[in-house]
Amino acid sequence: MNVPVYGLKGEKVGEVKVGSAFSKPLRTDMIKRAVLAERSVDRQAYGTDKLAGLRTSATYLGRRAIRNSMMNKEMARMKRIVAGGHMHFRARAVAQAVKGRMAHPPKPEKIWKMKVNKKERIQALISAVSATADKETVMKRGHSIEKVKHFPLVLDDSFQDLKKNKEVVAALGALGLEAELLRCSEKKTRAGRGKSRGRRTIRRKGPLIVISEDRGVGRAARNIPGVDVAKSEELTVSMVAPGTSPGRLTIWTKSAIEKIDKLAA
């Protein structure tokens, strides 16, 4: 299949032949498994203090023939404080007691990392890449692509030489992505507790630019809201299908799309 290649001003400058990487069936189950495995690597282990709820003088008094024995007192046999006064025989150190330990606390030694087979991860990546060539799947993610001429969207390798932010914005605007950049520039207040935990606002995911060699465009495009730049050999399923949802708007350079075809071969 031949795909048109566009220049920096939106004009057609040639064609490139793409292989089977953009004609594979969509496997949402494999994509979801691969994305969750990649995200699990970044998950930070957490757990409670091992002595939480156990810093107490409470002792077990349920045996016979000991001082302050609880035998024949019609009381549950659990660790209690022997202090006299209002704290006398208060239960502590057990899960059902006030200020006691947790029954099954989260443990920091738990391994959160998920594993996925190498071949399965590659197939998931190819399936996610194939979804970027389907206009209906891309629109379903919410991208504004009414003015985009063709999918997959391929740019000339001269795009990799851009070194200024305004040049990258102009090139994307020439491809019909003005509405998409405007959509990604809007901030939205997060719903829920995250507002008070340093992540008050969220942005939408915008175009992903896949290049073969970074000759300045990575630095030039890094401050454009929603836009990410990645090399073809460093591409992950999470980049192409954020949040396990395939169909992210992806812009390829001519040399990058030729490299991704070799992965599916």
Name the domain boundary from 111, 130, 145.
111
Q: Are 175 and 120 part of one and the same domain?
A: yes
The strand pair at 2-6 and 12-17 is best described as antiparallel
Which whole number is the average pLDDT over 86-105? 94
Q: Are 131 and 197 part of one and the same domain?
A: yes
Question: Mean pLDDT over all residues of the chain?
Answer: 93
Which tens digits make up the pLDDT trace of 173-217? 999 999 999 999 999 999 999 999 999 999 999 999 999 999 999
Q: Are 37 and 52 part of one and the same domain?
A: no
Q: Are 229 and 177 part of one and the same domain?
A: yes
Q: Are 234 and 174 part of one and the same domain?
A: yes
Domain range for 88 is 44-111
| Count of domains observed in the chain | 2
Q: Are 37 and 51 part of one and the same domain?
A: no
Q: Are 145 and 243 part of one and the same domain?
A: yes
Q: Are 192 and 135 part of one and the same domain?
A: yes
Least confident of 19-33, 60-74, 136-150, 174-188: 60-74
Name the domain boundary from 73, 88, 111.
111
| Residue 264 binned pLDDT confidence (cut-offs 50, 70, 90) | low
Q: Are 21 and 50 part of one and the same domain?
A: no
